[in-house]
C-alpha cells in the first residue's frame, strides 16, 4: 500500500479551478520531486491534502494516508496527521516562524502535540533536535527569538520543528528558494542526511530542476493544475516525453557535451480563469494537433513506472530522438 | 533598555512643556479674563485692579516665567472666579468623570475586542458584516448626536432613564453607553484588521501545519501578535480617561472635569484651564509611555532594538 495516494484532487478558488484532477502516489521512504512553473498547483496540492487552504477553497477528490481518507477528516484527526504523520516546511523561513514566541516555545509546542514527553524530557528533545539540524550552542539558542537567526538557521529550525513529530513524510515546499546558493546546498544536504537516518519520505516542491534531479527518486511535472508527466528522476531528465517536460529540460544548460542553444517555451501559462479546451499546454506546444484541442489528455502509463498525459507522446518522443540524432 | 526609556521620558517631558506653553499663549491672546469674569459693564478702574491683581498687565513672557516658577514650587494657580486653588477644583471633579470613563473603558474593551476578533475569524459572514456596519455607524456618528438620540429614545419616549444630572447610578447609564459605543466601534474595527493581518501571515499556516488545533492557533499564535497594534489604540483610550468626556458631560449635565473645562474656557479662568490641560497632557504622555513599555514586553524584536538604542 502506498503511503499517500491522491486521486482526482481538484481545488477551486471562487469558482476558478487551480487544481484539475491531480493523481499522485508516494511510497514509504520515497523522495518525490514536484516541478512546474509558479501557479501550476505544486503547493496547493499538498496544502489541500492537509486541509491548510482557506475555507473558501472548494476541494474535491480523495487523499489516502495509509489507506485512510484524510481529505474530509474531522479537525481533530487532521491535527494528528499534520506535524505527526506529515510535516511541512515552507519557502520563506523568515516569516514562517512566529516572531513573538521563542524557539523553545515553538519547538516544544510541536513536541508536546505529537510525542508523549513531559517536563525536562521535552526540553532535552528540543535541544537534541536543534543539535541534529546543526544549530550550534542549542541549549542557549533555545530561548532566542526568530529574528535573532539568519535565514538558513531559521530554515534549520523549521526542519527541527518538522521532525519533532517523527513524521513519515516531509513536504518541503521550495525550502531553499529564499536562501543563498551555499546555504541552499547545506539545507538540501541536511534533508538528505536526515532521510538516510530516519527513512522518512519526502516531497520536494521546487522549480529548480537541478535540485530535484539531485535529491529525488521520482519526479512529477505539473502544468496548469495537472500532472503531465511522472517518471523516475534519471529517466525524466534523460528522456522527457511530454512536450512541456521537454521544454523545461531543454531550457537547462547541459554540463557536458557540445554547447547548444537553450530553448525557451513560447507563450505563457494560461490564466486559470480561462483555460483552453482540451490540453492546457496545446497553445504553447509545437506538436499540437487538432485532437489536442478537443479532449483533455489523461495521465496514462507508457512504461513500467512512467506515465504521461499527452496524446502526442509517441510523436513527441520521436521528435526528441530526432533532435538528439542530429 | 535604560537608555530607551530615558529618551522616551525626555520626549514625554518635552511634550508636556509644549502643550502647556501652547495653552498658555493661546488663552492669553484670545480674550481678556477681566472682561469675561467681571462683565463688560464693570468700571475701567475695577477691570484694571483685577488685571493688576492677577498679573494680567505684565508682559506675556514675564507671566510665562512666573507661571513656570510657580509650577516648580508645586503651585498651579488659583481660579479667578472664586479664588480657590485650581488644582482643588479640578481634583474634586475627577471622581465624577472617572465614574463615567472607567466603566465606559471597560465596556469598550469588553465589547470591541471580542467583536473584532470574532468578525476577523468569521470574515465575510453575516455577523462580520453586521459588526462592521455597526462599527462604521459607531464612529461616524458624533457623540453628541448619539447622546441626543439616546436621550430622545430612553428619556423622552420611553421615560426609563433620566436625561441629565448626577443624582443616582441611573443617571450614569446613558452617558456611559454613549461613551462606550463609539469607542467599542473603533476598537472592534481596529482589532479586526489587526487580526486579519496576522491570520494571513505564514507563521499561522506553520502553526496549523504542525498540528496545533485551530483554537490554540488563534489564542497562542494570532492573538499575541494582534495585541501589538491593538495596545496602541488602548493606550490612546486610557489617555482620554480624564478629559475624553467633554461633550458627553456637557450634554448630560454631568459635573465632571469636562464640564469644568468648558465653563473655565468660556470664562477664561486661566489657571483652571491650564491645570486641566496639564493633567490631560500628563495622562496622555504617561499612557503613551506605558504603551511603549508594553511594546517591548509584547514584541521581542523591539526589545532587542531597545537594548541597542
User: Under an 8 A CB cutoff, do B207 and A98 touch?
Assistant: yes
Residue B90 DSSP SS3:
helix
Task: Name beta bridge partners: A203.
Answer: A32, A171
Using a CB-CB cut-off of 8 Å, the residues of chain B touching A109 are 210, 212, 220
E strand or H helix that includes residue B112: helix B86-121
- State whether residue A202 sits within 8 Å of chain B by CB: no
More confident residue, B75 or A230: A230
Q: Which residue has the higher pLDDT, A177 or A147?
A: A147
Chain B environment of A84 (Cβ under 8 Å): 211
pLDDT confidence of residue A254: 67
What's the pLDDT band for B204 if we cut at 50, 70, 90?
Answer: very high
Per cent of chain A over pLDDT 90 is 42
Distance from CA of B126 to the nearest CA of A (A): 15
Q: Which residues 265-294 of A are in CB contact (within 8 Å) with B?
A: none
Per cent of chain B over pLDDT 70 is: 98
Least confident range from A240-249, B1-10, B281-290: namely B1-10
pLDDT tens digits, one per residue of B112-142: 999 999 999 998 888 899 888 888 888 788 8
Instruction: Please report which helix (H) or strand (E) contains residue A301, including its range.
Output: strand A300-303
Among the partner residues B203, B209, B300, nearest to A82 by beta-carbon distance: B209
Question: CB pairs below 8 Å between A and B: how many?
Answer: 84
Q: pLDDT tens-digit profile of A6-44? A: 999 999 998 899 999 999 999 999 999 999 888 889 999
Partner-chain contact A76 B205, CB within 8 Å: no
pLDDT given at position A322: 63
Q: Please indicate whether, in this complex, the C-beta atoms of B209 and A92 are within 8 angstroms of each other.
A: no
Q: Which of B209, B211, B213 sits opposite A114 (nearest CB)?
A: B211
Q: Could you tell me the three cell numbers for A287?
A: 506538436
Q: How far apart are CA B200 and CA B194, in angstroms?
A: 10
Mutate to test the interface with A, among B120, B204, B210 (most CBs of A within 10 A): B210
* pLDDT value of residue B8: 82
ipTM score of complex? 0.87
pLDDT band at A176 (very low <50, low <70, confident <90, very high): confident
% of chain B exceeding 90 in pLDDT: 22
Distance CA(A170)–CA(A163), nearest Å, equals 8
**Chain segment B214-258, per-residue pLDDT in tens:** 999 999 999 999 999 899 889 888 888 887 788 888 888 888 898
Q: Do B299 and A83 touch (CB under 8 A)?
A: no
Half-sphere exposure of A26 (CA within 13 A, CB side): 28
Which chain A residues are closer than 8 Å to B220 by Cβ?
Answer: 101, 109
In this complex, do B213 and A147 lie within 8 Å of one another by their Cβ atoms? no
Confidence category of residue B109, pLDDT binned at 50, 70, 90: very high
- Asked if residue B213 has pLDDT above 70, the reply is yes
Least confident of A16-25, A99-108, B102-111, B149-158: B149-158
Which positions in chain A touch B203 (Cβ < 8 Å)?
95-99
pLDDT-derived band of residue A321, with 50, 70 and 90 as boundaries?
low
- In this structure, are residues B142 and B99 in contact, taking their beta carbons and an 8 Å threshold? no
Choose, out of A65, A94, A100, A143, the residue to mutate when testing the contact with B (most B CBs < 10 Å): A100
**Mean pLDDT in residue range B173-190:** 89
Q: What is the pLDDT of residue B308?
A: 42
Name the pLDDT band for B155 (thresholds 50, 70, 90). Answer: confident
All three cell numbers of B251, joined, read 450634554
Return the higher-pLDDT residue of A156 and A269.
Answer: A156
Among A106-120, A220-234, B55-69, B110-124, which is the least confidently predicted range? Answer: B55-69
**pLDDT score, position B141:** 85
The Cα A316–Cα A282 span in angstroms is 13
User: Are residues A265 and A283 in contact, defined by beta-carbon separation less than 8 angstroms?
Assistant: no
Contact A271, A227 (CB under 8 A): no
Quote the pTM value. 0.82
Q: Which residues of B touch A162 (CB under 8 A)?
A: 210
Nearest to A12 by CA among A72, A56, A64: A56
Q: Which of A24-38, A96-110, A252-266, B234-248 is predicted with the least confidence, judged by mean pLDDT?
A: A252-266
pLDDT of B156 > 60? The answer is yes
- Of all residues in chain A, the percent with pLDDT exceeding 70 is 94
pLDDT (tens digit per residue) in A124-162: 999 999 988 888 888 889 999 999 998 889 999 999 999
Inter-chain CB proximity B224 and A162 less than 8 Å: no
Q: Which long-range contacts (CB under 8 A, 24 or more apart) does A115-123 make?
A: A115/A164, A115/A165, A115/A166
| CA gyration radius, chain A | 21
Q: Do B211 and A79 touch (CB under 8 A)?
A: yes
Q: Which residues of A touch B207 (CB under 8 A)?
A: 98
The string of pLDDT tens digits covering residues A55-84 is 889 999 999 999 999 998 898 899 999 999
Distance from the Cα of A115 to chain B's closest Cα (Å) equals 12
The CA distance from A109 to A11, in Å, is 31
DSSP A183-248: HHHHHHHHHHHHHHHH--EEEEE-S-HHHHHHH-SEEEEEETTEEEEEEEHHHHHHS--SHHHHHH
A101 touching B (Cβ < 8 Å): yes
Q: Tell me the pLDDT tens digit for each residue of A275-300.
A: 888 888 888 888 888 888 888 888 88
Query: Looking at residue B304, what is its pLDDT?
Result: 62
Residue B303: predicted pLDDT: 72
Amino acid at each position: 500500500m502506498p503511503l499517500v495516494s491522491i486521486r482526482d484532487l481538484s481545488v477551486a478558488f471562487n469558482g476558478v479551478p487551480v487544481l484539475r484532477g491531480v493523481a499522485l502516489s508516494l511510497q514509504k521512504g520515497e523522495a518525490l520531486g514536484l516541478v512546474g512553473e509558479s501557479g501550476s498547483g505544486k503547493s496547493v496540492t499538498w496544502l489541500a491534502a492537509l486541509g491548510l487552504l482557506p475555507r473558501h477553497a472548494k476541494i474535491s477528490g480523495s487523499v489516502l494516508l495509509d489507506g485512510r481518507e484524510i481529505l474530509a477528516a474531522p479537525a481533530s484527526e487532521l491535527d494528528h496527521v499534520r506535524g505527526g504523520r506529515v510535516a511541512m516546511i515552507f519557502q520563506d523561513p523568515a516569516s514562517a516562524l512566529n516572531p513573538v514566541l521563542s524557539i523553545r516555545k515553538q519547538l516544544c509546542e510541536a513536541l508536546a502535540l505529537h510525542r508523549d514527553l513531559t517536563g525536562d524530557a521535552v526540553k532535552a528533545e528540543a535541544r537534541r533536535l536543534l543539535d541534529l539540524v546543526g544549530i550550534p550552542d542549542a541549549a542557549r539558542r533555545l530561548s532566542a527569538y526568530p529574528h535573532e537567526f539568519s535565514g538558513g538557521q531559521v530554515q534549520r529550525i523549521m526542519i527541527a520543528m518538522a521532525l519533532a513529530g517523527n513524521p513519515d513524510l516531509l513536504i518541503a515546499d521550495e525550502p531553499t528558494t529564499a536562501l543563498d546558493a551555499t546555504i541552499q546546498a547545506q539545507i538540501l544536504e541536511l534533508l538528505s542526511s536526515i532521510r538516510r537516518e530516519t527513512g522518512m519520505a519526502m516531497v520536494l516542491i521546487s522549480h529548480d530542476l537541478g535540485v530535484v534531479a539531485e535529491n529525488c527518486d521520482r519526479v512529477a511535472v505539473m502544468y496548469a493544475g495537472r500532472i503531465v508527466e511522472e517518471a523516475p528522476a534519471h529517466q525524466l531528465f534523460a528522456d522527457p516525453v511530454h512536450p512541456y517536460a521537454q521544454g523545461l529540460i531543454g531550457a537547462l544548460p547541459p554540463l557536458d557535451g557540445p554547447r547548444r542553444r537553450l530553448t525557451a517555451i513560447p507563450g505563457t501559462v494560461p490564466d486559470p480563469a480561462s483555460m483552453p479546451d482540451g490540453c492546457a499546454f496545446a497553445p504553447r506546444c509545437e506538436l499540437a494537433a487538432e485532437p489536442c484541442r478537443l479532449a483533455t489528455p489523461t495521465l496514462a502509463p507508457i512504461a513500467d513506472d512512467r506515465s504521461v498525459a499527452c496524446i502526442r507522446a509517441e510523436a513527441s518522443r520521436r521528435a526528441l530522438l530526432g533532435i538528439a540524432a542530429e | 533598555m535604560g537608555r530607551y526609556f530615558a529618551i522616551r521620558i525626555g520626549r514625554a517631558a518635552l511634550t508636556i512643556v509644549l502643550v502647556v506653553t501652547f495653552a498658555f499663549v493661546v488663552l492669553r491672546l484670545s480674550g481678556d479674563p477681566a472682561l469675561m469674569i467681571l462683565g463688560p459693564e464693570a468700571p475701567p478702574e475695577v477691570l484694571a485692579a483685577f488685571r493688576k491683581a492677577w498679573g494680567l498687565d505684565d508682559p506675556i513672557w514675564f507671566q510665562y516665567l512666573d507661571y513656570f516658577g510657580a509650577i516648580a514650587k508645586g503651585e498651579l494657580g488659583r481660579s479667578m472666579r472664586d479664588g480657590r486653588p485650581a488644582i482643588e477644583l479640578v481634583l474634586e471633579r475627577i471622581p465624577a468623570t472617572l465614574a463615567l470613563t472607567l466603566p465606559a473603558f471597560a465596556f469598550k474593551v469588553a465589547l470591541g475586542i471580542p467583536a473584532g476578533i470574532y468578525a476577523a475569524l468569521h470574515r465575510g459572514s453575516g455577523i462580520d458584516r453586521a459588526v462592521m456596519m455597526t462599527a462604521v455607524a459607531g464612529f461616524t456618528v458624533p457623540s453628541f448626536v448619539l447622546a441626543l438620540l439616546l436621550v430622545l429614545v430612553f428619556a423622552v419616549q420611553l421615560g426609563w432613564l433620566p436625561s441629565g444630572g448626577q443624582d443616582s447610578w441611573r443617571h450614569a447609564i446613558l452617558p456611559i453607553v454613549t461613551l462606550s459605543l463609539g469607542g467599542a466601534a473603533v476598537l472592534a474595527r481596529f482589532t479586526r484588521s489587526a487580526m486579519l493581518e496576522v491570520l494571513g501571515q505564514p507563521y499561522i499556516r506553520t502553526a496549523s501545519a504542525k498540528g496545533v488545533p485551530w483554537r490554540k492557533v488563534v489564542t497562542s499564535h494570532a492573538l499575541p501578535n494582534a495585541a501589538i497594534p491593538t495596545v496602541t489604540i488602548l493606550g490612546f483610550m486610557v489617555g482620554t480617561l480624564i478629559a475624553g468626556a467633554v461633550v458627553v458631560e456637557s450634554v448630560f449635565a454631568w459635573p465632571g472635569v469636562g464640564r469644568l473645562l468648558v465653563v473655565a474656557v468660556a470664562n477664561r479662568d486661566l489657571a483652571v484651564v491650564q491645570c486641566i490641560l496639564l493633567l490631560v497632557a500628563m495622562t496622555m504622555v504617561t499612557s503613551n509611555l506605558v504603551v511603549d513599555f508594553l511594546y517591548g514586553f509584547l514584541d521581542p524584536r523591539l526589545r532587542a532594538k531597545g537594548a541597542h538604542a
